[in-house]
Structure 1
C-alpha cells in the first residue's frame, strides 16, 4: 500500500484534494504488493519488463500445466463477458415494444443504434464459450489426479478471431450509441432509472453486480484489446512443438492486425469515462526511458488528451497477470517541453555500452548459426539465445546515448525522458505540443482508475526491440547502406540546416548519422556521403533540422521528417536517387546498398579522423567529396559575413581563436560548424589559410611547379592559356576542383575590392606561396633546378594568372553518382 500512499501524496503536492475512497479490490489489482527482492542492478538489469511472445524457460510439463490454468481463466472470463452482454440486451425487447406507442422511451431507430451488433457479438462468444468448455471439461475433471491435457483448442481461437469483423460495425457505431444513452439519461426519467440500475450475475455465488448502461456498452471495446492480450498469454505458455502453436500464432496475427487497424482508424475505443463524467482519450503510448538521479529505467508512457501518465509494467510472466504501477503524471496545461542536447556518456558507461554491443553481435551471430542443430536441440538453444539477446538489447536501449526531452510543469514538477531516436522524440514532442493548444485546464485524474485502464488501452505491447520483430531476411539489409545527401530547397528564408538519418535493425553500431550544418542559405547544399553499417534494416528515417540562436544559445528545431522503405533489389550496388518532401522543404539524396558480412563493433573505428596536416586526397576520400567540407564551410562563411571586411585574408584573426577552431575541426566537425558562425570572420579566413599551408603536399602538385614556371614565360597569350589550362587539368580531381572552388571565391572577394581593399594581386600574394610550392630538394638526389629568387614571383604569378581567367570551369564538389531516375517520397509534413 506504500505505492498507493505515494500516489495520494503526489496528488496533494499538486494541490488536488483526494476525497474518493478507492475500492480494495481495485487497489490490489493496480498496486499489487511486490514480493521480489531488489538487488544492485547488474549489467543486464531489465527493470521487470517481460516479453509475452517468448515461451518461458521451463519444462514442457510445467508449460502445459500453466497453459491449462490460462485456458481455465479464459473460460471464466468468457462466462462473465456473456453475462454482461445478456444484461445489456435485457431491456432491448421492452424498448422495442414501447417504440411503437404514443410515449416511446426510444424511437425504433434509436433502439437499432444503441443495440447495433450486440446480439451478433453475444452469439459469436456464446458459440466460442460452449465449444471451449466442452473441450476443457475432461481435463479439468482429471486435473487433481494428474490427468491428460485438453485436446487442441487453437482452431477455436482462430475461428473466433476470423469473425472479429463483427466488432467493426459495433466500434464504428459506438459513439452514436453512447450519445443516445447520455442524452436520454439526462432527459428521460424512465430511461435514467433503467440506465443506472442494470444488474448482472457475477461469480459462482450468483451475486448481483450493478452496471450503468454506458459501462456495459464499453465492455465490447475492452474485449477487443483483451482478446489480443489473452492470445499473447496463451501462446507464451504453449510449447513450440505443440500442434496449437502455429495456429495460435496465426490467430494472434489476425487479432493484432485487427487491433492495429482499430487503433489507426478509430479513437472511440480509447475513451475512458471518469467519475466526473469527462471523456478522456488515449492519444499515444510507447516505451521511453525515464531519466532521474537514481538512474535510467524503461517505462511505459501514456499521452491522454489532458495529461501524461508514466507507469511501470509489471507481471505478465510465469502465469502472472500484467498490471501497471503508477510512476508519475503531469498535466498538459502549462507544460513546457524542451529538447535538450544529447549527453555524453561517462568513460565507464561507454565501455559497458561497447561491451554490450559486442555481446549482442555475438548472440545475433549464434542465432544465425543454430539452423544446423537438430530440431529439439535447436528450439531449446534458440529460445535461450533469443532471451539473452532481448535482455542485452533492452539494456542497450536503456543505457545507450539518449536524446532528452525535458518536461517542466507549472507546479514545479519536472521529468526527463530519453529516446534513442530523434524521429520518435519528435513524434512525442509534436503530439504534446498539439494537445497543449487544445487544453486550457485539467480535470484531476483518478490515478487508480486511470492506471488500471492502461492494461486495457495499451497499444504498444513491448519495448522497441528488434529481436521481437519477425525475421524477414529476404527484404532486410545486412551490410553497408550509403546515403549521399545532396541539397535542399523550398525554404522561405535562409537558414542553417542539417539532415539527420536514422536506420532500424539491430544496433550493434551507431544507427544515426547526420550531415554537417549548412551555413545560412535558402538552398543548402551538403554533397556528403554517409555510411551506416546495418543488420536487418528495413526503413530509413530522414529528418530536416534547423539550427537557430535563441537567448545566446543554439537551439535545434525539427522542420520535417519522413521515412523511406528500403528495398535492397532497387539499390543493390548502384545509386538510386530520391526526393523527400517534408512540409515545403524538399531534400535530394541518393541511396546505395552493399551487402557483406559484418565485423564485430569493436573492430569498427569510432573516432573522427583529423582534418589538418593530411593529404587532401585522403581527407576528401574520407568525406566522400571532391572539395573538403572545411574548405567549403570556411569559404561560405566568409562570403556570408566577410566580403566587405577590410583586409579580409590579409588581416589575421586572433591566434587563439584560429587554434581553437582548428582543434574543433580535427576532433568534432559538428562542434566546429557551430563555432564557425560565432567566431570573428578573420579567424575563419585564418583557419582556411592555415589548412592550405599545412597540407603535406600543396594543392598544385610540386612536380607541376617547373611546368607552370615555363608556361608563364610563353609570350603568346593563347598558347600560354592553353598550356596553363592543360597543367591544371592534369592535377588530381580533388586538387583541381578544390583549387577551382577557391579561385571562384577569391574572384567574388575581389569584386568588393573598393570596400575590402583586396585586389586580385593582393589575394594572389596571400595564397600563392601556400598553393604553389617548388619541389623539395633532397640531399644526394638530382632534380630540376629552381631559381630561389624567382620562387615567390612564380607562386604569385601563377595564382594571379588563374584568377584573371574569365572562362574558369565550375568546380564539382561531390563525386558524380551513377544514379537511376529520381523517386519522390512525399509526406506533406511531419509524420505521427
Structure 2
C-alpha cells in the first residue's frame, strides 16, 4: 500500500511544481498572489517523506530500470500474474478513494448553486464534475468483480484447492471496462474547461479556495489522511487512462499463451491502445494552444540526454515542442507503480541561443570507471550467450540483461563529452551533454529551425504538458538504452576491427580548418567515436588518416565534417550515415565518396571479422620522436608521417614570408611542448601547432629529422652519394642521385621528396624570407644525411667532419636544384578493383 501512496505523492509533487511555476509567472507580471497556509501544510505534510527519500540518478542502484520480458516456467508466470492482479486491485482501491474525495463536495456545490450566494453556478458544477460519477461507477464495478474473483481464489487455496491460479480468469472484466473506456474521452475533452473553472474560482472566491486546497482522503485501514488539491484530483483520471494500457501490458506479459485470458487480454490491450492513440491525436489539438502563424503546439522531437546542474549529471527525457523545450525526469514502471514523468524545467524557443562545444577530456578516474563498467558489460554479454534454456538459465539471463541495462545507463550518463548550452532571453541557462556529435547536431538543427520561425511562446499548462509525456512515450517509444536489444544478434552486424581511412574533402565555400568525426553504433563495450586532426586552412582539406574501431554489433556509421574557422565556434558543415554490411566489406580497402551536405568526402573502409577480447586500457599513443620513420609510417598507415605534413602545411600557411624561416630557432619551451604533444596526442598537437609561433613549428620539424635513429637518407647511401658529387654535369649527376634515391624504403623516399618540394616552394619567396636553396640545404643537410657509424660493417673510406658537412650540404643542395623531382605520395593507394561508391545524405 505504501508504494501506491508514494505514487500519489509523486503526482501531487508535480502539481506543486506547477503551482510554484504559476506563482513565479504571475509575480513576474506584477499580479498579486495570495499564498494560503494550507498550501504550506500540504507541501510539508505530504511531500516531506518523498523528498527525504530522493536519490541522485547518478547512483544507478537508485534508478528504477525496466523489467526485461523473458520466458520462464508457467508456475513462475502465474505467481507473477497473481502479484500483478493484487497490485491492480490495491491501485483501484486507491483510485476509487480519490474519485470519492473528488465527488464529495459535488452535492453541496449543486445545492448552493440555487442559492443567492452560490459558490459555483450550476453550469460550473456540471463542467467541473463532468463524467466523474460515470468513471467512478465503471471502476467500482471492475473493482468489485476483480476483488470477488481474487477472494474466491484465496478461499479455494485455504480449503480444498479445487480452484487453481491457472483457472482464474479476469480477462472479461478488463474487456468490459475497456469497452466503456470511451467515458474517458468525454472527461479528457472537458478537462481543460474543468481546470479553468477551478483555477478561476480558486482565485476569486475564498470559500472555494479553502475547499479546493484542503480536500482530505482517508488511506483505508490505517485511517491516515492525505490532503489533495482539487486540481490534483482532477488530474487523476487523466493519468489513469494511460495506466490502464500499461497495466494490461504487464498482465499480458505474465499470462501464459495457453491461458483462457490470453486472447481476451490481447483484445482489451488492442482496444486500449487504439483509444489512447485516438485520444492522443484528437485531444492534442484541443489541449494544445494556438501559436503565431496559426500553428499549434506539437511534439517535434524527443530523446534521452544528460542534464548538467552544478556539476551533477542526470539522465533526463527531453521533449522539443513547437515553441518550447520541456525537460522531464522519467521513472520506469516497477512492481505496483506505473511509469511517471516529473517536470524539471522548460525554456521558450523564442530568442533561445545555442552554443555547442567539445567538453574537456574525461578525468583519469572517469576513464578508469568507464573501462571497469565496459569490462563488466562485456563479461555479462558473454554470460548471456552461455545461459542454458532451462528455467534457471532463463532466470539468470533475465538478471544478466537487467545488469547490462543498468550499466548501459551508467555509460550513457558518464561518457558524454559534447556540450550543448541553451541560453534563454529571460536569463535562464541549461547545459545538456551528448555522447554523439551526430545526435547533438540533429537536436541543434531541430531547435535552430524552430527558433528562426519567430514563434511566440504561450505560457504552458505544465501539468497537462507533463502528463502528456507518458502518452507520447507510449506511441513513440524512443530508446532509453544506448544500444538496441537486438544489437549484435543480427548476422549482418559487424564484430571485429573496422578501419576508416579519411582522405580528403571537396566543396567548401571558403577556406577552413576542417576535421572529420566518425561514429559507429553497436554495444557500449568499446569507444565508438574517433576524429581526425584538424586540417590546414584550405578549400580542399586532406588528412589520409586512419581511424580504427573495435566493433560489436555495428550496423551503421555516422560521418560529420566540422570546421574551425577564424576562431569562431566549431560548425558542422555536413553529416551523413553509412550502412555497414559485412557482405560488402572485407580486409581489402573499399573506397567511397560521401556527400555530406555541401562537402564531398573521400574515404576508404576495410573490415576484419574476429572474436573480440575484453575492453582494455585505452592504447597509449605511440611516440613519434626517436622512432624509425618506417615504424611511424606503419603506425599511422601513411607514407609521410602526420607530423611532417602538419608542420609543412602550417609553415606554408603563415611562415613563407618569415625572414630566416628554418634558420632562426623558435622558443625552446614551445618546441618542447610540441614534442610532448606529438608523442601523446596527435589532435592536441595539431591544435597547438595552429597557435604556436611559426619558428617553433619549423623548429619541431627540424628536431624530428635530427632525432631520427636512422637518417632519412639511409647511411649506406652516403658514400655513393658522395661519389656522385664528382660528376661535373649537373643533369647527369641528378640522374645518378635520383637512381640511388629509388633504392630507399618507401617511407624514407616519399618523405624526402615531400620535404624537397616544400623547401623549393620556400625558396621561391627568398626575396622576402632570405632563404635560398643553399641556405635551406645548409640547415637540413646534416639532419637528413649522415655517414655510417664506424664498426657497422659498411665499406668505404672514412671522411673527416669538414668533408662530411660538405657532402651533406651539397647532396641536399643538388636534389633541391632538380626541377623534375618524382611525385611524393603521402599515403598508400587505397583504391581497389571496384569502382568508387558515392553515398548521398
Match of 2:517 among 500, 517, 520: 500
Q: Are 2:323 and 1:306 aligned?
A: yes
* Contact residue 67 and residue 238 of structure 1 kept, 8 A: no
In structure 2, which of residues 495, 501, 504 is the aligned counterpart of residue 484 of structure 1? 501
Q: Secondary structure at the match of 1:510?
A: coil
Where 1:785 maps in the other structure, the secondary structure is coil
Q: Which residue of 2 aligns with 1:584?
A: 598
- Offset at 1:407? 1.4
Which residue in the other structure is 1:673 paired with?
686
CA distance 1:365–1:804, shift in 2 (3 Å): same
Gap change, CA 1:306 and 1:43, over 3 Å in 2: closer
The alpha-carbon distance between structure 1 residues 236 and 627, as it changes in their structure 2 partners (threshold 3 A), is farther
Q: 1:599-678, aligned counterparts within 5 Å?
A: 599-602=613-616, 604-678=617-691
- Name the CA shift for 1:258/1:456 in 2 (closer, same or farther; >3 Å): closer
Matching of residues 435-450 of structure 1 within 5 Å: 435-450=450-465
After TM superposition, the structure 1 = structure 2 runs for residues 699-710 of structure 1, keeping only pairs within 5 Å, are 699-710=712-723
Q: For structure 1, which segment, 140-149 or 660-669, has the greater mean C-alpha deviation from structure 2 after superposition?
A: 140-149
Residue in 1 that maps onto 2:573: 559
**2:338 matches 1:321:** yes
Q: C-alpha distance in 2, partners of 1:672/1:625?
A: 18
Could you tell me whether the CA contact under 8 Å between 1:299 and 1:312 is conserved in 2? yes
1:466-508 Cα deviation digits (max 9, x unpaired): 2534653301111111101111101111111100001111122
Q: Structure 1's 41 and 68: CA in aligned 2 closer, same or farther, altered over 3 A?
A: closer
State the match for 2:443 in structure 1. 428
SS of match in other structure, 1:776: coil
Out of 550, 555, 564, which is 1:533 matched to?
Answer: 550
Q: Any idea what SS the aligned residue of 1:577 has?
A: strand
Task: Please tell me whether the aligned partners of residues 68 and 149 of structure 1 are also in contact (alpha carbons under 8 angstroms).
Answer: no
The residue aligned with 2:430 is 415
Q: Deviations over 1:633-685 (max 9, x none)?
A: 11111112122222221222222222222222222222222222222222211
| SS, match of residue 526 in structure 2 | coil
**Are 1:136 and 1:150, in contact at CA under 8 Å, matched by a contact in 2?**
no
* Deviation at residue 755 of structure 1 after TM alignment: 2.2
The answer to whether the 8 A contact 1:487-1:523 is kept is yes
In structure 2, the partner of 1:347 is: 364
Of residues 13, 19, 22, the one that matches 1:8 is 19
Q: Deviations over 1:534-593 (max 9, x none)?
A: 11111101011111244xxx5211111111111011012222222111222111111111
TM (normalized to structure 1)? 0.75
Q: RMSD of the TM alignment (CA)? A: 4.5
Instruction: Decide whether the 8 Å contact of 1:541 with 1:564 is kept in 2.
Output: yes
Show CA shifts across 1:173-221 (max 9, x none).
Answer: xxxxx9xxxxxxxxxxxxxxxxxxxxxxxxxxxxxxxxxxxxxxxx9xx
Q: Give 1:363's aligned residue.
A: 380
TM-score under structure 2 length normalisation: 0.74
SS in 1 for 2:570: strand
1:745 positional shift: 0.9
CA distance in 2, matches of 1:253, 1:539: 35
Which string of whole-angstrom CA distances, capped at 9 and with x for unpartnered residues, describes residues 301-336 of structure 1? Answer: 111111111111124121422121111111112222
Q: How many angstroms does 1:420 deviate by?
A: 0.8
Aligned to 1:515: 532
Farther-moved stretch of structure 1 (705-714 vs 789-798): 705-714
Change (3 A) 1:703 1:48: same
* Rounded Cα–Cα distance in structure 2 between residues aligned with 1:256 and 1:609: 60
CA contact (8 A) 2:252 2:266 kept: no
Please list the CA deviations of residues 504-526 of structure 1 after superposition, one character each: whole Å capped at 9, or x if unmatched: 11122211001110011111111
Structure 1 position 237, deviation (Å): 3.8
Contact 1:282-1:303 at 8 Å conserved across structures: yes
SS at match of 1:487: strand
* Aligned twin of 2:610: 596
Q: Is 1:547 paired with 2:564?
A: yes
Query: 1:699 Cα deviation (Å)?
Result: 0.8
SS of equivalent residue, structure 1 residue 468:
coil
Post-superposition Cα deviations, 1:70-99, rounded to whole Å, max 9, x if no partner, equal 9999999xxxxxxxxxxxxxxxxxxxxxxx
Cα distance between partner residues in 1 of 2:518 and 2:670: 32
C-alpha separation between the residues in 2 aligned to 1:642 and 1:256?
72
Q: Distance in 1 between matches of 2:600 and 2:691?
A: 28
Aligned-pair CA distance for 1:234: 4.3
Query: Does the C-alpha gap of structure 1 residues 696 and 619 become closer, same or farther in structure 2, counting only changes over 3 Å?
Result: same
- Provide the residue aligned with 1:93 in structure 2: none
764, 789, 797: which one pairs with 1:776? 789
CA offsets, 1:271-327, max 9 Å, x none? 562478983111111111111126211111111111111111124121422121111
State the Cα deviation string for residues 615-650 of structure 1 (Å, max 9, x = none).
111111121111111111111111121222222212
Given the alignment of the two structures, is residue 403 of structure 1 paired with residue 418 of structure 2, yes or no?
yes
Residues 767 and 390 of structure 1: is their aligned pair in 2 closer, same or farther, counting only changes over 3 Å?
Answer: same
Do the aligned partners of residues 496 and 667 (structure 1) sit closer, same or farther apart at CA in structure 2, a change above 3 Å counting?
same
- Structure 1 equivalent of residue 212 of structure 2: none
Q: Quote the residue 1:809 is aligned against.
A: 822
Describe the SS at the equivalent of 2:829.
coil
Mark the CA change 1:783 to 1:470 in structure 2 (over 3 Å): closer, same or farther. Answer: closer
Say which SS state the counterpart of residue 384 (structure 2) adopts: helix
Map of 1:273 onto structure 2: 287
Aligned to 1:169: none
What's the counterpart of residue 381 of structure 1?
Answer: 396
The farther-off stretch of 417-426 and 437-446 is 437-446
What secondary structure does 1:764 align onto?
helix
What secondary structure is seen at the aligned counterpart in 1 of 2:595? strand
What's 2:764 paired with?
751
Contact kept? 1:498, 1:514, Cα under 8 Å: yes
Quick one: which of 775, 789, 798 aligns to 1:786?
798
Instruction: Tell me: CA distance 1:809–1:46, structure 2 relative to 1, closer, same or farther (3 Å).
Output: farther
**1:777–1:755 Cα change, 3 Å:** same
1:794 positional shift:
1.0
For structure 2, list consecutive stretches of 5 or more residues without a partner in the other structure.
1-11, 94-141, 158-162, 176-188, 190-237
Q: Structure 2 vs 1, CA of residues 345 and 796 (structure 1 numbering), >3 Å: closer, same or farther?
A: same
Asked if 2 retains the 8 angstrom alpha-carbon contact of 1:272 and 1:279, the reply is: no
What is the total number of aligned residue pairs between the two structures? 702
Pair 1:65 & 2:77 matched:
no
Matched, 1:688 2:701: yes
CA contact (8 A) 1:270 1:457 kept: no
Is 1:297 paired with 2:314? Answer: yes
Give the distance between the partners of 1:518 and 1:612, measured in 2 at CA.
Answer: 21
1:823 Cα deviation (Å)? 1.6
Instruction: Answer yes or no: is the 8 Å Cα contact 1:544–1:558 preserved in 2.
Output: yes
**More displaced stretch, 294-303 vs 50-59:** 50-59
1:154, 1:749 → 2: CA distance? Answer: 88
Structure 1 residues 696 and 250, CA gap change in structure 2 (3 angstroms): farther
- Residue 726 of structure 1, aligned match among 739, 744, 748: 739
